[in-house]
Amino acid sequence: MASASATLLKSSPIIDKSEWIKGQNLRHPSVCFVQCNPTSAAFTVRASSYADELVKTAKTVASPGRGILAMDESNATCGKRLASIGLENTEANRQAYRTLLVSAPGLGDYISGAILFEETLYQSTIDGKKMVDVLVEQKIVPGIKVDKGLVPLPGSNNESWCQGLDGLSSRTAAYYQQGARFAKWRTVVSIPNGPSALAVKEAAWGLARYAAISQDSGLVPIVEPEILLDGDHGIDRTFEVAQKVWAEVFFYLAENNVMFEGILLKPSMVTPGAECKDKATPQQVADYTLKLLHRRIPPAVPGIMFLSGGQSEVEATLNLNAMNQSPNPWHVSFSYARALQNTCLKTWGGRPENVKAAQDSLLVRAKANSLAQLGKYTGEGESEEAKKGMFVKGYVY
């Protein structure tokens, strides 16, 4: 084999914030192939022209005391949320709810990024301002859900795979132009259904292809293989499966030349199955989860942004707080949907006169999780609503 002293030769001009806010500067080509051995041409190194910007974006999202507001429910899932407060699933109602979320005063003190569904990325608030512009004014980086959802995986044990790679590079390029700077792809692994080697490999490969494509378009990929809470297994079984899943994910990320400094992870916390009779304390969840992360996640990765997965709002905050009692090699934070929005949605109830109270509820949760990111959350004064579990068997996002 030819010996090649590979050097990464190309890096991008750094784009300043005002430029990325305008989102007009799609550059070509976004990828170059650099010959490392001029005599034999035996080895090439791939370098994205967005490399510096990806690192900057990932660091901004992973900034101290802040995390992600996941508000990327598909129209179908948003419909379920709205139905729970007696509202119809119309574009106007989705717009009113998302306006309430993005315009909560001071949200950017606790929230560094917001994941949007495509409709919201291109939508305006009820006052006619672009949602994306409102977020940027709040110093919140806009992100976009790019997967196309789960479908049955033939040849598996009733497991799923995640669609969305076809045409992804043109979509990610367009999302960048619209102002998105990071992306999310959620696939799932089911413990009670296996997981089969086929399902784990498919999940890991899909995430790696998506991550490479997103980086080529200037979007920081959030890598999310959700290990579902469903099942009556104990915490050791979750730990075993999580080790397997993350080993495979990083194997394929490396094989696809994904730059680890320019990604964010969105793991499930390591907990017992939702139907397990043994419950785990925040300390146990933190011990298992940090052990998993130390074994599997390189320190080059800037941020670990957990999903809430059906935990109650308070449980998700307590667990995060327990993980931040001593310094970690990565920013350990949150990217919650249900665990940030539940009380807020109920408080709103679809009534304009409740908007301020609902925004206050969102800020209470955002601040609690901000404190948990810093390891300073006490759990005092939480409402009964915030302590209610939100696990739904066979949950589809």
- The contact set with ligand 13P (CB under 6 A) reads 70, 72, 115, 184, 186, 224, 307-309, 336-339, 397
Q: How far is the CB of 338 from ligand 13P (least distance, A)?
A: 3
Q: How far is the CB of 149 from ligand 13P (least distance, A)?
A: 12
CB closer to ligand 13P, 51 vs 228: 228
Q: How far is the CB of 72 from ligand 13P (least distance, A)?
A: 5
Q: Which residue has the tokens 């993005």?
A: 102
Q: Is beta strand 67-71 parallel, antiparallel or unpaired with respect to 331-336?
A: parallel
The Cα angle at residue 388 between residues 314 and 194, in degrees rounded to 5: 90
Q: How far is the CB of 238 from ligand 13P (least distance, A)?
A: 15
Using a 10 angstrom Cβ sphere, with 0-12 exposed, 13-18 middle and 19 or more buried, the burial of residue 388 is middle
CB closer to ligand 13P, 141 vs 337: 337
- Return the closest-CA partner of residue 303 out of 278, 334, 347, 346: 334
Q: Which residue has the tokens 């075993």?
A: 240
Residues forming the active site: 224, 266
Q: How far is the CB of 145 from ligand 13P (least distance, A)?
A: 7
Asked if 332 contacts 373 with a C-beta cutoff of 8 angstroms, the reply is: yes
Q: What is the 3-state secondary structure (H, E, C) of 125-182?
A: CCCCCEHHHHHHHCCCEEEEECCCCEEECCCCCCCEEECCCCCHHHHHHHHHHCCCCE
CB closer to ligand 13P, 49 vs 289: 289
CB closer to ligand 13P, 15 vs 73: 73
Q: Which amino acid is at 4?
A: A
CB closer to ligand 13P, 58 vs 162: 162
State the CB neighbour count (10 A cutoff) for residue 165. Answer: 16
Residue 259: HSE in the Cβ half-sphere, 13 Å Cα cutoff: 25
- Return the closest-CA partner of residue 221 out of 269, 187, 178, 272: 187
